[in-house]
Amino acid sequence: MNITESLWQDPNRMSGAVCFRGTRIPVAILFDYLEHGELDEFFEGYPDVTKEQVHAVLEASKELVTGQFVLGTFH
C-alpha cells in the first residue's frame, strides 16, 4: 500500500487535515501516539486504521526526511 492509497485530504472536511483513507482520523494523531511510544494504544483506540496504512505513512515520512519523497496533493 502506498501513501496515496493510505491517506486522503479535503479542504472542506476535517478542517483540511490529512486523514487515513476511509476514516476521519487525522494522521497527526498517529505521531502524537508515536511520540509517547504508544503504537499499540493507537491501534486499540483507532481500529479502523490498518497496519498497512501506518506502514505507508511511516515509510513516506522516512523518505521525506531523507529527501527521497516528492510532496503532492492527497485526494
Q: What is the pLDDT of residue 15?
A: 92
Task: Please check the confidence at residue 75 and state whether its pLDDT lies above 60.
Answer: no
Q: What mean pLDDT is predicted for residues 50-74?
A: 82
Burial 14-36 (b: 16+ CB within 10 A, else e): eeeebbbbeeebbbebbeebeee
Is the model more confident about 68 or about 54?
A: 54
Residue 55, Cα to own-chain centre: how many angstroms?
Answer: 9
The tally of CA atoms less than 13 A away on the side-chain side of residue 56 is 17
Q: What is the pLDDT of residue 63?
A: 83
Decide: residue 9, CB within 10 A, 0-12 exposed, 13-18 middle, 19+ buried.
Answer: middle
> For the segment 3-45, what is each residue's pLDDT rounded down to a tens digit?
889 999 999 999 999 999 999 999 999 999 999 999 999 999 9
Task: Give the pLDDT band (50/70/90) at residue 71.
Answer: low
Cβ atoms 29, 14 nearer than 8 A: no
